[in-house]
Structure 1
Amino acid sequence: MAELTGAVWRKSTRSGDNGGACVEVADNLPGLVAVRDSKDLTGPALIFSPTAWSGFVRVTKSGR
């Protein structure tokens, strides 16, 4: 995906040592947030708008 060129991927600090079953997030690109499976670095990524991603994180943290 050309739009992901330059993405800086990071794992959640809550990922822990769970055998690699993690997601990675790249939020350094203008206008999008990408999420991918850490076990499949060349596989597909989900793309969110920054607003949609912020909403997802907020709802997830609230436990709803």
Structure 2
Amino acid sequence: MHHGHGQAAEEELAEEHYSRGRELFAQDKLLAAKGHLERALELDPDFDLARKLLARLEAQLKN
């Protein structure tokens, strides 16, 4: 995984937001989790894990 300097830092930050979002999701804090996952995707639009978790979360919010 070789990227330009700025992008590597953004991907690292995206990972942190994803981890936080996943923890909050596990605790059923869906809206807080959603914010972190959306931020992760803003930083790294190709972050599939974050996208999948966000889709699951949004499905749960609709129920």
TM-score by length of 2: 0.30
Higher RCO (CA 8 Å, separation ≥ 6 residues): 2
Higher helix share: 2
TM-score by length of 1: 0.30
